[in-house]
Structures are given as structure tokens and as C-alpha cells.
Amino acid sequence: MKKLLYILLAIGLLSSCRKYLDQVPDDRLTIEETFRTWATAQRFLDNVYSRIPDEFGQRNPGDNTNRGLWTGGCDEADYVWGFVQSNDVNIGNWDAKSGFVGDYWRNFYKGIRAASVFIDNADKIIDLTPELKEQAKAQARALRAMYYFYLMRIYGPVVLMGEKPVAVDATLQVPRNSFEECVNYVADELQKAAAILPVDYSSDKLGHITKGIALAFRANALMYGASPLYNGNTDLAVLKNKDGKQLIGQTYNPQKWKDAAAAYKAFIDEFVPGTYHLFTKNDANGNFDPYLSCRDVFLTDWNPEVILARPDNSLGSRQYEMTPYHSGQDSRDVRGSGGLGATQNMVDAFFTKNGRSIDDPLSGYVKTGYSDFRAPNDKVTQSIYNQWVNREPRFYVNITYDGSIWLNKSYPNIVTRLYNTGNSGKKTGGNDYTPTGYIVRKAMGLDKWDIGGRTLMLIRLAEIFLSYAECVNEADPGNPDALKYINLIRERAGIPQYGSASLPAPIGQAAMRDAIRKERRVELAFENNRFFDVRRWKMAEQTENGPIYGLNISADLPDFLKVVPFETRVFNKRHYFFPIPSDDVDNDRELIQNPGW
């Protein structure tokens, strides 16, 4: 009897010399039973959804929910605990046999196959209207394409499995498709799904795939295809199938940027502002507050900036990492680990309050000394190190620094001290302290850390605006939309816009590219973009290789404030792509390994 393959099955799709039927438990429903009624078919579709990454769970990357390692695995941050596998990635201590390497490959392909099973059988459901059957199939089609996209940004060119699900006992000998074929397939599939999907759902179906989600992923796939890593990258000329088929295009094609820009522009034209718009929030007096706007966009579920969010996630785990140790406090509500440290590299990327980079002579940035200062939304003035004074609002949303007042106002005016013997310092915390002298704060709630029930935002409109600005600048230098959409982000952040009286606009494509990348780094900090951005821009050999900096956490003040390298990271050309898991390469004679692995 043919058994259905739930995505929770512990099997790898592309391990070609394995037989799977013996691993399917006897108590599973048959395909016919599963797809007879919507009640059981819906549970199957819900399982397909479960592969959407739980990016709050990055202390333990991989596994069934595809938890990333992207935050601690790039120049934004670092985990204090040695068991966190992003630390292995940072120092080059990983390979094709590493557990997370196999997890992402197997689990996204499980989701892909499960989506194909659903599409192939949904018409059998007897108690669902034809219209709702098509809509459910469109959700599965979009999810399948999204999972291919997630694979592509990790491994590069992958294997496209086709429309029909592969039999679980099949012996596969299949080559990889070119990256361009992968991009075109994903874009086409998402376009097909978008034509059927609704713009929104009722409140009991929030989190399901909408037309906007499908088209956002479509534009993202096209942008990746246009980016330097994939578009005319002669460094990857050796990446060929055994028949000589080139998997990365060797000739730069400017049309790819135009196609990506057009996809983002079409998204904006269709959905903004009617469906999505940038979240804003006023203070208690009814005045626009950029700090609250940038902070609470992550704390307000299903707000109008949210495009894709995951309801079920590891929120408590992430908040434990962001809550300082706070020795001396009686309640565990405000006592965490602070183990996810923001790097000095990331801290220095934030602008000053006048919207300029700290290395700009006109920024007003002061490297030494202290000033009396009250950070946004704080109630008291404190003596704060000048490097952290008068920075832009997003700095205070993202970073806990020495002397910060903690967010949980049920325990008022807890001051976080991060030097060695401070209440959250290295000596005080034992195994729980920041490895950098700063702690990531973005998306930290205002209540106790050990809490659930809030969504994990995975794509928001600000990302779409910045991606469009990037693509239109590459496709059509001088197009005013590049400046327009970066300025919309800066306006919400409460800093001067480019081209205003106090801040000249970037002149030329290169200067605009630099401005867009700086804005993207700050606006999307700790949102799982930077890891992939520096790769697709082909600059990771500069940003992810060599010393990464933090403060002198083994010292008390004032020596604590010295900027020191805390780690020498390793990144070379082979690290632009993950290796294909070694078992799969060994079993599939047509599946070639990525260069250098």
C-alpha cells in the first residue's frame, strides 16, 4: 500500500542508494485517506508550512524547522557558547559532513516533495470547493518555490525535481540545474501561484501564503540572480556538471537587474499603500516617534509592514540570548544570558543622529569621554560613553551597551553593566555574558524574556524598498526611485534624508550603491540578510575574513572600552556556497560538489 510521506519523516530525498518505504510507519494514513477530506489534507498542508525557517532558534541551527546560523555567522554578531555552530562557520571549522549542512539540504527537499504530493492529490478532496482547492494548491506551489529559493541562497545551483513527487523508493541519479534555470523556475512558479492566491486572509488564517508573499519571494529570487555572485562570476567557471554544463553564468547580463527592478516596482505599485505600508507609531503626546516606530514594528504582530511572519517560533530562546545577566536582580524575568553579542563592526555601522556615518568629519561622532545623555524612551539621564551618545534611533533599538537602561519597565531603571565585574560582565556571568561587550537588542520584548506567542517577522516592506533601490540603481543609474525609497526608510528612522539641506545626495551609481548598502546593513541588522548580502555582493572575503572586533570584556572600566579583536575569522572563495552533503554526493554520481569542498 502506498504510504504518504509527511515532512516529519527522517529521510533525505536525494540520498540515492536508500530505500524509504521500510522507514514509513504502518500507522500513517494512505494517500487516499489523507486527501479524502479537508480536515486531514489541511494537516498535511500545515506540515508543509512547518519548514519555513524559525530564525529565532539560531543557537541550535538546522533541524526540522531550518533554524539559521546567519546572525552569529556574519560580521553582525557572535555567540558566547562554543557549542553554537555558527562559531564553527566563523573559524572555518566545518565541512560537507557537518550536521547543519545536511539538515538544510534534506529538510527543504522534504518540504519540496511534500508540497508536490499535496499539489498532486488535492483534487481528491471531496468537501472543498474547486476554488478553494486551487487556492490550497497555490499555497503549496508557492511554498515549494520558496524552499527552492532558500536552498539556492545556501548551496547555489540545486536540483529541480519537477512537478510530480518522486517515489520514496526511487534511486536517483540527477545532476544540478544551472542557477539561471533555478531562478527562472522559482520566478515562474511564484507567478503562477500569485495569480490564484488572495491578497489577504481572515484573522484565523494569518500566516498563510498570500499573493504578496509569493511576489516578494519572486522579486528576491530575481535579485539574487542579478547579483555579482551569480551574474558573470568567472571565479565559478569551474562549477560545471559532468557533461560540461555551466552552472553559473559567465557573462554579465544587465537585463537581470532590470527584471528584478521591474518585479519590485510591480510589487510596490500593486500593494503599497493599500495592503502594506511602513509601520509608524506616535508617542504619548501623539507625535511621530522614530524610535518607537523602529522598535515596535517587531513587537506588533501582523502590522501593515509585515509581509511574511512565522507564528510558531523560538521567541523565548532568542530573548534569553538578548536579556543581560543582571546579577543582583531577584526576578528571572530580567535575568538572561546576554550571550548574543553585537560586534563593534556592526555598532560602528549605525549613523549618528544627523544621518552621517561615524567616519564622516561632519557626523559629530566623539570617540572618547562621557556626556550626560538620555537615550530614546528612557526616563533618566545618565553619564554615557560618547561613542554611544547622539546616535540615530535605530542604534538604540538594536544595541544594548554598557550603561543602557533595560527595557522591562516593570523593573524600572535596571542599568546594564557589561564590563568584566559589572552585573552582566564576563566574570560575573560565568558562562553567560556577551563575547563582544555589546548585546543584540532588536525584537526584544518589553516584558519577561521567557514568553511566547509573538510572531517572527521574516520579510517586511522596508526590505522590499531597499531591494528595489538596489536593483533600480544597478539597472538604471540616476533613476530617482533609488533615492526616493532609501529616503523613505531614513524618514521613518528619524534621520535626515539624502538631498535635504543638511545632507547632500550621493552622486553617481557607485556612491548610491554604497549608500544603499549602508542603509540596508543598518535597517535590516540582525534580520538574516547580511550573511547572504555580503555573499551575493562578492565582498564576504573582506567582511567575513580576518579580525572581528568588540570591547575588552576581560577588563573593568576604563580598559573595558578599548576596541580589541575577539576572533580571527576565516572566509575564502569556497565559503560563498555551502558544500553539498557528502553522503548525497557519494550516492548520486551525477551530483557534483561545490568548488573547494
How many domains are contained in the chain? 1
Instruction: Tell me, yes or no, whether 33 lies in a domain.
Output: yes
Cell of 55: 530564525
Instruction: Tell me, yes or no, whether 375 lies in a domain.
Output: no
One pLDDT digit (tens) per residue for the chain, 597 residues = 233 333 333 333 333 333 222 223 334 679 999 999 999 999 999 999 999 999 999 999 999 999 999 999 999 999 999 999 999 999 999 999 999 999 999 999 999 999 999 999 999 999 999 999 999 999 999 999 999 999 999 999 999 999 999 887 778 899 999 999 999 999 999 999 999 999 999 998 999 999 999 999 999 999 999 999 999 999 999 999 999 999 999 999 999 999 999 999 999 999 999 999 999 999 999 999 999 999 999 999 999 999 999 999 999 999 999 999 999 999 999 999 999 999 999 999 999 999 999 999 999 999 999 999 999 989 999 999 999 999 999 999 999 999 999 999 899 899 999 999 999 999 999 999 999 999 999 999 999 999 999 999 999 999 999 999 999 999 999 999 999 999 999 999 999 999 999 999 999 999 999 999 999 999 999 999 999 999 999 999 999 999 999 999 999 999 999 999 999 999 999 999 999 999 999 999 999 999 999
Instruction: Tell me, yes or no, whether 396 lies in a domain.
Output: no
Instruction: Tell me, yes or no, whether 74 lies in a domain.
Output: yes
- Residues present in the chain in total: 597
Element (DSSP H or E) covering residue 155: helix 130-155
Mapped onto helix, strand or coil, the DSSP state of residue 444 is coil
Instruction: Tell me, yes or no, whether 324 lies in a domain.
Output: no
- Domain containing 67 — which CATH number? 1.25.40.390
Instruction: Tell me, yes or no, whether 57 lies in a domain.
Output: yes
State the residue range of the domain holding 113: 1-174+576-597
Write the CB contacts of 535 (distance below 8 Å, at least 6 apart in sequence): 229, 576
Instruction: Tell me, yes or no, whether 105 lies in a domain.
Output: yes
Instruction: Tell me, yes or no, whether 94 lies in a domain.
Output: yes
pTM: 0.94
448: Cα within 13 Å, side-chain hemisphere: 9
Per DSSP, the residues of 532-543 read HHHHHTT-HHHH
